[in-house]
């Protein structure tokens, strides 16, 4: 029922702890019937295929029922479109409880022309809580702090199953996953129909020099951490797939890599744009991400390559239980037969103590290197973030002191706070916007920033407030690229507010020239 699903979403949204979210999900799976629980699982993992319900469609509906100024003010305050409509929508008839499956089927089969009327009719017969769940379901923007992996973890806990086993089956199953729940309740394990399936990716934990002192250097191997995206390349029985680290199929955007996967097996690596021996900045890779087709011109100007890290499956043999040192040796032997222009191997780094490795980290040979990967020689390949096996030692972030210029309310749990900030640097006697950040600060710092915005607003542009340019913040970021889309001429990678600099006046914030000096040489 939509009411039970709405109650689940509310509990998930207001439960910050991972354990609490898992408990709510397990409880829902235990008490709700099929196909309702499977459809809820699919909604949380993003695997429901629904006709796109766009923000413009919803705004058009609410404009017919609610005064435009009232809605604009309400949306500005709430910060979430679905929540605003759920609260402000005028009820015309008594609320009606409907099966979740019926609502989903209706959204799937209704044509584009008839969809607005169908949604309006449903909203008329729902409570605010039901409307919120229905709109979140229809738009696909649940935002309740549950990742697809966490949702699958809840299924594993519900049935006492092994999460990696579930994830290996996942791509061959479809909602409402009835066979998965049969298995979870003691029935037969389902058989996946997927060809070239995704296997759960092994992840690393952050480390630093101090933490490494407790480990024996000779028990580890190290390699560069490249600034691309982690992928799994699978070629089995004539089917070739390229998956992101979360299991999304990105094959369509990289036909050049797919064509070079002339092997039988599954490998782990980094997807990069490479021109000869030179690895391009991450922004070049972003140009191709998310595309369903790629033009010949883009294939030529942004050639994609695969830099291999690990071996999972090769010619029918599963290597994942073997130690990393053995997998690495086998990988070196297998990659020799592949096209080196498209697929190569991440080199191992020579070191015999942590200080030597620290020196390498401090002076990488290429600016696109993010840091180091450190892997225990004996580690098997295990899906997920398994402590003690793999570590990432990233380069220190770049830092600038910037001045807050604009602020906007956040979404979801942050809808009551100004949490999205635009900041700038000095260019002569003018402040020039150079980036945006919406994380990095503590809850206490968020409240302080919110108070500053409310007390120092000098202008408004719809939901955006311009503030008195007096607040200095330290901004950390992972990389910097040239950009013609930004007035400053540069774009930061992963910017976040790392510290409030209340000790520093705005006139002492950094200048644009200092930021430009951080650009890698062409």
Residues labelled catalytic: 225
Nearest CA among 283, 278, 280 for reference residue 484: 283
| Secondary structure class of 403 (helix, strand, coil) | strand
Chain centre to alpha carbon of residue 355: 33
Question: What 3-state DSSP class applies to 409?
Answer: strand
Token duo for residue 73 = 């003010």
CB-CB contact of 196 with 234 (8 Å): yes
358-to-211, 369, 377, 490, 520 alpha-carbon distances in Å: 12, 14, 19, 29, 21
d(CA 236, CA 317): 12
CA distance 232 to 195: 14
Element housing 133 (H / E) = helix 128-139
DSSP E strand stretches across 198-303? 202-203, 205-206, 220-226, 229-236, 239-244, 265-275, 278-279
Q: What Rg do the C-alpha atoms of the chain give, in angstroms?
A: 25
Q: How far is CA 226 from CA 4, 108, 307, 370, 379, in A?
A: 45, 41, 9, 6, 21
DSSP three-state, residue 183: helix
In the chain, count H helices and then E strands: 20, 22
CA dist list (Å): 479 to 227, 325, 399, 514: 9, 31, 10, 14
Q: Specify the DSSP element, H or E, that contains 115.
A: helix 115-124
Residues 6 or more apart from 189 whose CB is under 8 A from it? 165, 169, 183
State the Cα–Cα distance between residues 342 and 183, nearest whole angstrom: 41
Q: How many residues does the chain have?
A: 522
């Amino acid at each position: 029922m939509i009411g039970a699903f709405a109650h689940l979403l509310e509990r998930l949204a207001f439960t910050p702890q991972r354990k609490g979210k898992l408990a709510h999900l397990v409880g829902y799976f235990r008490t709700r019937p099929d196909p309702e629980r499977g459809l809820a699982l699919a909604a949380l993992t993003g695997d429901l295929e629904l006709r796109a319900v766009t923000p413009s469609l919803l705004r058009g509906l609410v404009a017919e029922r609610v005064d435009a100024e009232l809605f604009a003010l309400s949306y500005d305050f709430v910060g979430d479109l679905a929540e605003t409509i759920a609260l402000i929508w005028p009820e015309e008839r008594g609320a009606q409880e409907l099966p979740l499956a019926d609502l989903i089927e209706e959204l799937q089969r209704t044509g584009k022309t008839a969809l607005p009327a169908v949604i309006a009719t449903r909203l008329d017969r729902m409570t605010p809580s039901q409307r919120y769940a229905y709109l979140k379901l229809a738009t696909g923007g649940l935002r309740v702090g549950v990742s697809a992996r966490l949702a699958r973890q809840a299924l594993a806990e519900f049935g006492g199953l092994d999460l990696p086993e579930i994830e290996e089956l996942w791509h061959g199953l479809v909602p409402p996953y009835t066979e998965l729940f049969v298995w979870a309740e003691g029935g037969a394990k389902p058989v996946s129909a997927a060809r070239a399936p995704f296997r759960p990716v092994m992840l690393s934990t952050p480390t630093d020099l101090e933490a490494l002192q407790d480990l024996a250097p000779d028990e580890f191997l190290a390699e560069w951490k490249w600034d691309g995206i982690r992928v799994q390349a699978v070629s089995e029985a004539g089917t070739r797939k390229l998956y992101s680290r979360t299991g999304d199929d990105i094959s369509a955007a990289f036909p050049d890599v797919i064509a070079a996967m002339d092997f039988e097996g599954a490998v782990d690596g980094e997807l990069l744009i490479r021109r000869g021996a030179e690895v391009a900045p991450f922004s070049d890779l972003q140009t191709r991400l998310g595309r369903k087709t790629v033009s010949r011109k883009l294939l030529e100007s942004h050639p994609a390559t695969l830099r291999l890290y690990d071996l999972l499956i090769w010619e029918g043999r599963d290597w994942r239980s073997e130690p990393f040192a053995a997998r690495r040796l086998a990988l070196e032997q297998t990659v020799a037969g592949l096209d080196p222009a498209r697929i190569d191997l991440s080199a191992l780094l020579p070191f015999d103590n942590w200080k030597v490795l620290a020196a390498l980290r401090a002076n990488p040979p290429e600016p696109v290197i993010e840091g180091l990967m450190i892997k225990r020689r004996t580690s098997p390949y295990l899906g997920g973030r398994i402590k003690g096996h793999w570590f990432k030692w990233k380069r220190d972030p770049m830092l600038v002191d910037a001045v807050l210029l604009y602020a906007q309310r956040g979404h979801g749990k942050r809808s009551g706070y100004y949490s999205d900030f635009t900041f700038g640097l000095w260019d002569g006697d003018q402040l020039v916007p150079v980036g945006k950040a919406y994380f990095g600060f503590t809850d206490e710092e968020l409240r302080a920033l919110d108070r500053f915005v409310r007390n120092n607003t000098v202008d408004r542009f719809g939901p955006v407030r311009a503030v008195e340019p007096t607040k200095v913040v330290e901004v950390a970021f992972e990389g910097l690229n040239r950009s013609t889309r930004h007035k400053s001429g540069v774009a930061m990678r992963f910017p976040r507010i790392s510290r409030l600099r209340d000790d520093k006046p705005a006139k002492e914030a950094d200048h644009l020239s200092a930021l430009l000096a951080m650009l890698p040489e062409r």
